[in-house]
Amino acid sequence: MHEGETGDSLESMTTRTIMPNRKKGEMFGIVEKLLGASRMMVMCEDGVSRLTRIPGKMKRRMWIRERDLVILKPWEFQREKADVVYRYTQTQANYLSRSSKLPEVINIFK
């Protein structure tokens, strides 16, 4: 080992998965249908299908497909619309499903 290396510790091997910030109103959702122009229909954990969009700062960094697990934040003035905050990879979605952190309404990764 070189100076400063600690080797493979448990902390360096585990990665943390981002969770929705409930205080800000964020929630899980599953992409149902892509509509074009960075818009899509998402089934939310509260059972409501919302028209969502990818905000400008995330458009080029986030490629979303149908059946992807996302975090979204409903608009305050139009609750039937929302913005996508984060997209999970397939591995992260499977991990959340296995560890029972997804609501049953949207858990399609069984």
Per-residue model confidence (pLDDT) at position 66? 92
Q: How many domains is the chain partitioned into structurally?
A: 1
Is position 109 within any domain? Answer: no
* Inside any domain, residue 13: no
Among candidates 44, 40, 66, which has minimal Cα distance to 53? 40
Mean pLDDT of the chain: 83
- Specify if 46 maps to a domain: yes
| Cα–Cα separations (whole angstroms), residue 65 to 22, 42, 81 | 25, 11, 19
Q: How confident is the model at residue 4 (pLDDT cuts 50, 70, 90)?
A: very low
Radius of gyration of the chain (CA): 16
> At CA 109, angle to CA 105 and CA 110, rounded to 5?
90
Residue 10 lies in a domain: no
Looking at per-residue pLDDT, the higher value among 1 and 84 belongs to: 84
Which CATH number belongs to the domain containing residue 63 in this structure?
Answer: 2.40.50.140
